[in-house]
Amino acid sequence: MTQSPDTPVIAIHDLHKAYGSLEVLKGVDLIAPRGHVVSLIGSSGSGKSTLLRCCNLLEDSQQGEILFEGEPVRWKGQGLGRHPADRLQVTRMRTNLSMVFQQFNLWSHLTILQNVMEAPVTVLKRDPKEVEKSARMYLEKVGIGDKADAWPAMLSGGQQQRAAIARALCMEPRALLFDEPTSALDPELEQEVIKVIKALADEGRTMILVTHDMKLAADVSDHVIFLHQGKIEEQGAPASLFTNPQTERLRGFLSAGA
């Protein structure tokens, strides 16, 4: 499929997600244009992480459209019985949407280099020598090139999260999805990871970022979405959204975190 440069990497329309009778997303729209950073903010339970997991098809949604580079996900069934119809399509899309989790999820029995190489070699079937070259380059890029042969347990939390980012980059994805990437870290280590995320944003990478860090969202985002109880309460450019919130709920949320 030939892509127009204007086709968003990810487009979501009227997305609904429930766990049984609990409706978590109640008709959400999201557009992630190529080269843009979209941040999702909101209090715990607002649906931010669920929306991110639906983007990556780690969660099934019950209604609405998800398109990756203009290609819609094909579904079968309805409501709580709705699932993707084509597992190969899901695998292809998911390998192009690398996710970085709050907990680093590194394999403890593999070195940092092996962790970064694992998916490109086993999932994408790429040549191990080429992948090793890329993996070492990405470890240098996130500032831990000297830790390639270390085990995850030998690294600080900030270093482990940077290794997880290198692992995501080594898949050469069309977009990076970050789920609270700094919330498990103490403030000093948090800054190491924020520096890497800012550098990736400066490179023009497409990213969707779930974060509790309003300064990070303000610094790196092209567009910010404030979710409240499964709906978009307010959205816009960070300069206007953070300095001139239009809704009482967003004003309350920002002042509570101040």
- Tens of pLDDT along 33-69? 999 999 999 999 999 999 999 999 999 999 999 999 9
Cβ pair 8, 31 in contact under 8 A: yes
d(CA 73, CA 77): 13
Q: What is the DSSP letter of 92?
A: H
Averaged pLDDT, 15-23? 94
Sign of torsion over alpha carbons 97, 165, 44, 227: negative
Q: What is the mean pLDDT of residues 224-250?
A: 96
> Buried b / exposed e across 124-158, counting CB within 10 Å, b at 16+?
eebeeeebbebbbebbebbbbeebbeebbeebebb
Q: Is the pLDDT of residue 28 over 60?
A: yes
pLDDT above 90 (res 201): yes
Does 258 score more than 80 pLDDT? no
Domain boundaries, the chain: 105-173
- pTM listed for this prediction: 0.93
- The CA distance from 66 to 175, in Å, is 14
pLDDT at 257 over 80: no
* 174 membership: H or E segment, kind and range: none
Reduce the DSSP state of residue 172 to 3 states and report it.
coil
Other Cβ atoms within 10 Å of 221 Cβ, number: 25
Whether 2 has a pLDDT exceeding 70, the answer reads no
